[in-house]
A and B are shown apart, each in its own frame.
Chain A
Amino acid sequence: MNLLLTLAVVFGILVLVRIANVAQMAAELSGETDEEEEEKANKWNSLGFLLFMVIGLPLMVYCAIKWRPLMLPVAASEHGVGVDKLMDINWWVLIITFFITSILLFWFAYKYRYNKNRRSYYFHDNMKLEMIWTVVPTIVLSGLIVTGLIEWNNITDIAKTNQGMKVQIYAKQFDFTARYAGKDNNLGSSFFRNITDTNPLGVDSSDASAADDKFSSELVMPVGEEIELVINSRDVIHSVYLPHFRAQMNAVPGMTTRFHFKPTITTTKMKEITGNPKFEYILLCNKICGVAHYNMKMPVRVLEKDEFTKWLREQKRVFTRESLNAAAGADSTKAVVDSTVVSAK
């Protein structure tokens, strides 16, 4: 099999060499001069560029229209609406620039193809023109920079830190765990050396504010409420990516990162908006983190406030009375890995 393949490849190369030889000989015999050949090449290739533009640009527009329904639906968060608006402004600027410059490029290719009876225009400097295309992009970009930064400052406003309902997103190879801060809206402190198989987040059991903390393997949020994601990782860098909410923040071992946002559309409502009864929000890992990176995700739901309160009441506390006792008794035992961890080996 392999021998056959090798032979086929060798044979193929020999045939190509032969064809090229024959073609070269034929070209020499036909008496076609280099000049004629070049003239033909100029004609066909300049036409090629024109065709590439005439077919290519409309095809791009067609793709954009056809694939529009595959794109993300409306932003499901307050700031996301602003992000989308900014994105639209940027797209219009880019599309207009793209069309102008591409049309000029391919049109010039066709219009100014070689003609031996013509000479190029000896033109190599023009202060006015150069000023125009330095100043105009500067003005347009200043506009984009300013609108972008206003939105960015709004999203990352430090004043908002510690406001909103705190939810810890704890990442490890290859899953996420959510921890709700409970009534006191204070997450009990955690430390990686506290990690055991019953305490996979390493929460400090002596911290009083941890007493009402709750675990969940899905991220559930009340609609219309400010949420503060407090993000940690225990092994490598992961990324908490919530595409429908236009939210993303890396989870970095050794430090805490945050992302602040307000969900505005419940899952039920989004099913209606998208017309897809199977629609679900999702949290994806978006930083290469190991072999099962592509399977690292967490279901996300946005509920009405009363539904959320009911849901939260049903969730398990981080520490039950028994686990607290066990922790007190087993302080010296070595931590045991959570059996669900998929080993990279």
Chain B
Amino acid sequence: MEVNQHNEVSAHHDDHSHHGHDDHHEHEESNNFFAKYVFTTDHKMISKQFLITAIVMAFLAMAMSMIFRLQLAWPDVKFPFLEDVLGRWAKDGKLDPGFYLALVTIHGTIMVFFVLTGGLSGTFANLLIPLQVGARDMASGFLNALSFWFFFVSTLVMCSSLFIEAGPASAGWTIYPPLSALPQAIGGSGLGMTLWLVSMALFIASSLLGGINYVTTVLNLRTKGMNMTKLPLTVWALFITAILGVLSFPVLLAAALLLIFDRSFGTSFFLSDIFIDGAPLDYAGGSPILFQHLFWFLGHPEVYIVLLPALGLASEVISVNSRKPIFGYKAMIGSMLVIAFLSFIVWGHHMFITGMNPFLGSVFVFTTLLVAIPSAVKVFNYLTTLWKGNIQFTPQMMFAMGLVSTFITGGLTGIILGDSTLDINVHDTYFVVAHFHIVMGSSAIFGMFAGVYHWFPRMYGRMMNRKLGYAHFWLTLLGVYGVFFPMHFLGLGGVPRRYYANTGYEAFNAFVDINVIITIFAIIAGFAQLIFAFNFFYSMFRGKKSVQNPWKANTLEWTAPVEHLHGNWPGELPTVHRWPYDYSKPGAPEDFIPQTVPYSETPESNTPDDHKH
């Protein structure tokens, strides 16, 4: 109650100030490039900044994966064009083994942090939180802008490391010391690793600035009538994600900082008893395992920081396009909260075979497998939402369906990896690569695509081309399963990940054909993303003009005018009267009732259960 009152006061205050300066804003937005695109504090523009940066980074990381897929499929073939692109890293068209590791490392880092964390949360938390809770902007527009610019600089620093002489960081995206701490151990652990750590520190700052803002906005700036139990699941997902980020990223910063100390100032947090390059080093008493504990204390919540927003977006898209309320709204929130809680106490399942105490391993097996329960609840709730729905197969719905499929497929193999006994033999093999690329990579990127197709009209006032959207979806789905399904078999055959070539192993010769198949599907999937990029940028300028509520959705963002204005709504902020999922309510003339419609206007569809929402 108190919160709502405060909210109203600040909203009125906002109203006042914006109305008074409307003309001024118009002027500023149309004429000053810097004010509009660079130093903007408008959440909608910041969201687009995040999205476009993430798209550019995603293409860079994808191009890297294409290069190492070529190497893995045809380890004996020379590709002269690689020398044109990579120079001395691919002499005579043969990829350098050290640079192979660098590609794997930077591909992982970009995808996990810049695309699926910064890109996904940054884009949709910025766009949707204010618009769906009914706020004029984020709690702090300045911190929000700062969050983007930290993010942008961190991507620049990471990219700059591609051009230095010793090469970029190449100890794997998990940067386990001592490999990441000692330039003697691998070239990439010199300046490349320093830049990686600097970039990550900037990224963490960005993530914290964003996260604090998202949490505050959801808690304090909800419009009149918008209780927590009337929030769309997108906002719930982004809210929980932000809390996870705020609690876990500082731990990664601590790990990075201690690693910087070990690397540059001679401390021994993670290093001990090392003899390398012909000489013993003076480090004593540190533990490499400590780093892994710190890294995965972030690293595992990070998986859900990536996945939860995608699940939230998919929940909204599935409900809207099935023309049906999401099944088990409260169970969905509950399962997200349980997943978020459990995500903090499962990190040890990445470390079963590090020599960690086996009993501790048992505890982590227990907590890890518990995650399957809320996940199962979510899957069954999605299925029940589809059941007896009236499904519109818009491109965003296709991607949301794809997400449910990959979430099932990849989630199930997690049960094997979470079982310490079974993990012994598949740990660090291609089975792991297959698992997380399906459940974390593909599901999250499918959720992101669903979000882009669904909210593109909200971002740019235009529609994306549907047919190109379908082509994009089918080729991507085919590509995802074609690439990652066969990888399970490599893993079960004992093929380790991060191998530059398997040619030295008689036993692995049988897998050559499978590697070729994988690469062909990877190229197909890569091609599909070009269709998306074309569709995205073409539609931005030439797409069909959008109407205000193109998907006939209930949530507040579709009650704001198509033209962007600072403050989102021209007059008063909308008032919320009902939950966001009144689709196909019996008795109602239309198959949707927006959140702003009071019950007094819908006597024909009211039921005694309504107050429960």
Interface residues, chain A, with chain B CB atoms under 8 Å away: 1-2, 13, 16-17, 20-21, 23-24, 37-38, 41-42, 45-46, 48-49, 52, 56, 60, 63-64, 67, 70-72, 82-83, 86-87, 90, 93-94, 97-98, 101-102, 104-106, 108-109, 112-115, 118-126, 129-130, 133-134, 137-138, 141, 144-145, 148-149, 151-153, 155-156, 158, 172-173, 191-193, 195, 202, 231, 234-237, 239, 241, 243-244, 246-250, 252-258, 278, 280, 282, 284-295, 297, 334-337, 341, 343-345
Contacts and interface: CB of A to CB of B under 8 A. Distances in A.
A86 B421 contact: yes
B107 interface: no
A284 B186 CA distance: 19
Given A45-B470, A290-B186, A156 B358 contact: yes
B288 interface: yes
Interface in B394-430: 394, 398, 401, 404-405, 408-409, 412-413, 415-416, 419-422, 424-425, 427-429
Interface in B575-613: 581, 583-586, 591
Interface of B: 84, 97-98, 101, 171-172, 176, 178-179, 182, 184-187, 271-280, 286-289, 322-331, 353-355, 358, 361-362, 365-366, 369-370, 372-373, 376-377, 379-381, 383-384, 386-394, 398, 401, 404-405, 408-409, 412-413, 415-416, 419-422, 424-425, 427-429, 465-468, 470, 474, 477, 481, 485-486, 489, 492-494, 496, 498-502, 504-507, 510-511, 514, 534, 538, 542, 544, 581, 583-586, 591
Task: Across the A-B interface, give the 6 residue pairs with the lowest CB-CB distance, nearest first.
Answer: A337-B278, A254-B272, A243-B494, A257-B355, A156-B358, A121-B388
Contacts of B421: 82-83, 86, 148-149, 151-152, 155
Task: Output the residue of B101, B275, B361 with the most chain A CB within 10 A.
Answer: B275
A171 B220 CA distance: 56
Nearest to B534: A16
Nearest to B387: A108
Given A236-B182, A293-B500, A335-B278, A83 B422 contact: yes
Contacts, number: 358
Contact of A120 (B280, B379, B388, B413): B388
21 contacts: A2-B84, A24-B542, A71-B489, A102-B405, A105-B408, A109-B386, A119-B584, A120-B322, A120-B584, A123-B384, A192-B273, A236-B185, A249-B353, A250-B354, A284-B505, A288-B101, A290-B179, A292-B97, A294-B499, A335-B279, A344-B98
B585 A122 contact: yes
B416 A87 contact: yes
Given A155-B424, A246-B425, A248-B425, A195 B408 contact: no
Contacts of A97: 412
B546 to A, nearest CB: 12
Given A98-B408, A155-B424, A282-B507, A112 B273 contact: no
A239 B287 contact: no
Contacts of B416: 87, 90, 94
A3 to B, nearest CB: 12
A337 B279 CA distance: 7
B287 A254 contact: yes
Given A16-B534, A38-B392, 12 more contacts: A42-B391, A94-B413, A102-B409, A108-B386, A114-B390, A141-B372, A192-B280, A235-B276, A248-B428, A291-B98, A297-B504, A344-B186
A294 to B, nearest CB: 4
A115 B393 CA distance: 11
B578 to A, nearest CB: 13
Contacts of B492: 71-72
B493 A72 contact: yes
B388 A123 contact: yes
B372 A252 contact: no
Contact of A112 (B376, B390, B494, B504): B390
A70 B372 CA distance: 30
A179 to B, nearest CB: 16
A255 B384 CA distance: 51
A121 B391 CA distance: 12
A23 B500 CA distance: 45
Contacts of B184: 344-345
B499 A293 contact: yes
A236 to B, nearest CB: 4
A288 B179 contact: yes
B415 A144 contact: yes
A45 B272 contact: no
A248 B377 CA distance: 34
A255 B179 contact: no
B510 A70 contact: yes
Contacts of B178: 235-237, 253
Given A152-B420, A239-B353, A124 B325 contact: yes
Task: Output the residue of A20, A153, A292 with the most chain B CB within 10 A.
Answer: A20
Contacts of A248: 353, 424-425, 427-428
A153 B405 contact: no
Contacts of A286: 427-429, 496
B567 to A, nearest CB: 31
Contact of B389 (A120, A125, A246): A120
B496 to A, nearest CB: 5
A128 B583 CA distance: 23
Contacts of A52: 477
A46 B391 contact: yes
A70 to B, nearest CB: 5
Given A237-B178, A248-B353, A98 B409 contact: yes
Contact of B377 (A23, A134, A173, A335): A134
A148 B506 contact: no
Contacts of A282: 505, 507
